[in-house]
Chain A
Amino acid sequence: MDFTLTKEQQMLQQMVRDFTQKEIEPIASALDKEGRFPEEIIRKLGEIGVMGMTVPKEYGGAGADTVSYTIAIEEIARACASTAVVVSVNNSLACFPLLAFGTEEQKQRFLVPLAKGEKLGAFGLTEPSAGSDAAMQQTTAIKKGEEYFINGVKHFITNASRADIYIIFAMEDKTKGTRGISAFIIEKGDPGFSFGTIEDKLGIRPSITGELIFENCHVPADRILGENGKGFKIAMMTLDAGRIGVASQALGIAQASLDRSVKFAKEREQFGKPIAILGMIQEAIATMATDVEAARMLVRYAAWCKDVKQSYTAPAAMAKLFASETAMRVSTKAIQIHGGYGYMKDYPVERYFRDAKVTEIYEGTSEIQRLVIALNAIR
């Protein structure tokens, strides 16, 4: 079993690390403070192929493997979890379903600009009444002639008003339950499509999270993604892949928290010595380091499963569950190790803590992940 990264993965890691240190790290704190979308960074990442990393070259992507993708997301998240989620949503929740379920014409028209970073994608599943209970879609889609009319509200959508292309889920036939849900490709500017509230969040503040409003939004029939009634399946398969992205983001937050804690422990002196020699600090760091390493193994394994086309539903859920809970534990402990300093915005660990929390919630709460893992084991 070879745990070393391939040459390609090493070079990618080095390049993204270099980019992150020079372009993202210096402004991450300011982005969070101002709640400012990382516009320039996303544009530059698009230019070097990161926005469509795993999309094949013929559709404008870079053709990288999933392991490379997790490495890139982790490196970016170490500096800015918000930038990481923008990249992750574009790759996993917008490009992936188009690649897996789109027609050739749809791929050329929508996937290519997303993969090239020319346009930004978003994923619209969640509604006020449909979170974990995703099947409870209240948004409706009715076919009239050669058009679909969509009505409803999506909320808590990452990239919200900033995105250009949206993968939207709506109920066509309530009598069929989950088999009545279909997926659609909506573009900014489509008639009847507008934006609502932009949320004021605890963390990942530079990321724009908001409402999508559909009031008799009508689009041509060729905007349906995949077959009618297959929408729920598309959503679930997309989230399976998306979980690997979020797991990588959480891993990056955890690693950054660990790095800062070690640095601080070596510099901070109390009782005449650096606190790094104190037993309780060492115990904390040992637990943090082990958890981060374990999270990394699960993330890489889930990515590997996807690359070799093995079933990855359970591994991805495990990775997301463990990495997000690790990020929460490690960032909480990081603040503790920093003591009073950790509570102040001078130090980045309080931002890591605020950013970490959402990784336990979005793209399937930890409770949902546990459900997926249990059902996978029991069936």
Chain B
Amino acid sequence: MTGVTVNVEKCVGCKNCIPICPFGAIDFNSEAKKASINDKCTSCGVCVPSCPVEAIYSDIKIVTDLSQYKDVWVFAEHRDGKLAKVGLQLLGCARGLADQLDQRTCAVLQGHKVEDMAKTLIEHGADVVYYLDAPELEHYRFDTYTKAMVELVRKHLPNMFLIGATHIGRDLAPRVSRRLNAGLTADCTELTIDPQTKLLKMTRPAFGGNIMATILCPNTRPQMSTVRPGIMKQLEPDHHRKGEIVKEKVEFGPRDTMVEIAKVVKEQKHLANLEEARIIVSGGRGVGSAEGFRVIKELADLLGGEVGGSRVAVEKGWIPQDHQVGQTGKSVRPDLYIACGISGSIQHRAGMQTSGCIVAINKDPDAYILKIADFGIVGDLHAILPMLTEEFRRELGK
């Protein structure tokens, strides 16, 4: 079933439309010299204006007037019956954008029997929750989720669409953007509205974070953006907030069931090596004992990082050899390196000085490590670390 057809009488066989189709969905009969649409068609409509004699029709409304696209949408990702935090964070961001445009914030909730999540979405800033319920949407799959999302977009015409840059989001958003022929910008760290053009300004890192770029999407809608978890801040839930739940239906054809989830396995990923850790909490002479490393491990576990140590800590048997950072240990480049009770000798520095952000905690105000740290605290790590862990626990729980 396709929404796009070629009027065989009008078609003059110019073949203009054939290469334009991104999906290879237009066939050409060289005997009859006529084009026809095959079942690869996704109804994107990009071929319609390409025909010089207007022989291609779409019964799906292809809206080219950009002012018709309104509202800021957020994909409400959920897994195992729980809403992903990133969706709530994006609602907080969307709220800010929508208010500037005087438009609504809408959450897209696709799943099976998850209607009660809609309330939470409204409490976190959604004016509208579009809810699609189907057994095929129970677990995330690219095929059914793309079909549902695209139909929803074509029906309700959002201006902007924010999706979390999770394993799910990065699987889904590009597929959706291709089907819609819409622009997508990945891993945005900042989203603002241009006061003149009212366009979404999407800022993101490139070249491994060495450069920042601001991206615009002036001519296609929705303006799509993925954002990593933890970048945006969710709003305080307002239990009195009112919102609308709009239930939509979607049907799935053979083209929408291309994969099957055979098994899902949860496992703690044990890092193969320290070199891949994004956060390392490291201890040196100041830790004092193997027992002393407990506070280091607690903080590392909370932050989802790994434990490291200086040569002294290894030689004294406080931590195993494969955790050694330094000239005779591992060279590491985490985003965050917290050096506790480490003086910062040249051998140790050789293994960690190119870390993204260095925090040093040391009793000695003249310790060399404080010179190369981005943030330093002069104090006893045994007192500071538990406080730090507690503060992180409080902040990150939000």
Contact = CB atoms under 8 A, between A and B. Distances in A.
A293 interface: no
A346 B328 contact: yes
Interface string A23-37: 000000100000000
A244 B353 CA distance: 39
A229 to B, nearest CB: 54
A370 B353 CA distance: 47
Of listed A268, A341, A346, residue having the most chain B CB within 10 A: A346
10 contacts: A29-B328, A267-B346, A267-B350, A267-B353, A341-B346, A341-B347, A346-B311, A346-B327, A346-B328, A346-B347
Of listed B311, B327, B349, residue having the most chain A CB within 10 A: B327
Interface string A338-361: 000100011100000000000000
B247 to A, nearest CB: 55
Contacts of B328: 29, 345-346
A345 B327 CA distance: 10
Contacts of A267: 346, 349-350, 353
A332 B346 CA distance: 21
A103 B22 CA distance: 63
Contacts of A346: 311, 327-328, 347
Contacts of A29: 328
Interface in A258-305: 267-268
Please report whether the interface of chain B is mostly helix, strand, loop or mixed according to DSSP.
helix
Contacts of A345: 328
A345 B347 CA distance: 12
A350 to B, nearest CB: 12
B372 to A, nearest CB: 10
A256 to B, nearest CB: 15
Given A267-B346, A267-B353, A346-B347, 7 more contacts: A29-B328, A267-B350, A268-B346, A341-B346, A345-B328, A346-B328, A347-B327
Nearest to A267: B346
A311 B347 CA distance: 48
A96 to B, nearest CB: 39
Contacts of B327: 346-347
Contacts of B347: 341, 346
B67 to A, nearest CB: 54
A101 B327 CA distance: 48
Nearest to A341: B346
A39 to B, nearest CB: 22
Contacts of B349: 267
A341 B328 CA distance: 12
A341 B353 CA distance: 18
A268 B327 CA distance: 13
Interface residues on B, range: under 10
Contacts of B346: 267-268, 341
Contacts of A347: 327
Interface in B88-123: none
A114 to B, nearest CB: 36
B191 to A, nearest CB: 39
3 tightest A-B CB contacts, nearest first: A346-B328, A346-B327, A346-B347
A29 B353 CA distance: 22
B320 to A, nearest CB: 16
Interface in A296-340: none
Interface string B323-347: 0000110000000000000000011
Interface string B290-309: 00000000000000000000
Nearest to B347: A346
A341 B349 CA distance: 14
A267 B327 CA distance: 13
Interface in A168-206: none
A210 B328 CA distance: 30
Nearest to A263: B350
A369 B147 CA distance: 77
Contacts of A341: 346-347
Nearest to A29: B328
A267 B350 CA distance: 9
Contacts of A268: 346
B226 to A, nearest CB: 32
A346 B349 CA distance: 13
A345 B353 CA distance: 21
B281 to A, nearest CB: 23
A341 B311 CA distance: 14
A126 to B, nearest CB: 36
A347 B327 CA distance: 7
Nearest to B331: A26
A347 B346 CA distance: 11
A300 B219 CA distance: 58
A268 B350 CA distance: 10
B344 to A, nearest CB: 11
Interface in B115-153: none
A267 B353 CA distance: 10
A149 B353 CA distance: 63
A137 B347 CA distance: 50
A269 B224 CA distance: 50
A220 B347 CA distance: 58
A21 to B, nearest CB: 12
A268 B368 CA distance: 12
Nearest to A268: B346
B331 to A, nearest CB: 10
A347 B350 CA distance: 11
Nearest to B329: A346
Of listed B311, B328, B349, residue having the most chain A CB within 10 A: B328
Interface in B229-252: none
Nearest to A345: B328
B346 to A, nearest CB: 6
A32 to B, nearest CB: 12
Nearest to B311: A346
Nearest to A347: B327
Nearest to B368: A269
Nearest to A338: B346
Contacts of B350: 267
A196 B353 CA distance: 48
Of listed A268, A341, A345, residue having the most chain B CB within 10 A: A341
A29 B324 CA distance: 15
A29 B328 CA distance: 9
A268 B347 CA distance: 10
A271 to B, nearest CB: 15
A346 B346 CA distance: 11
B332 to A, nearest CB: 14
A267 B328 CA distance: 16
A15 to B, nearest CB: 23
B328 to A, nearest CB: 5
Interface in A29-72: 29
A345 B311 CA distance: 13
Interface in B191-224: none
A267 B347 CA distance: 10
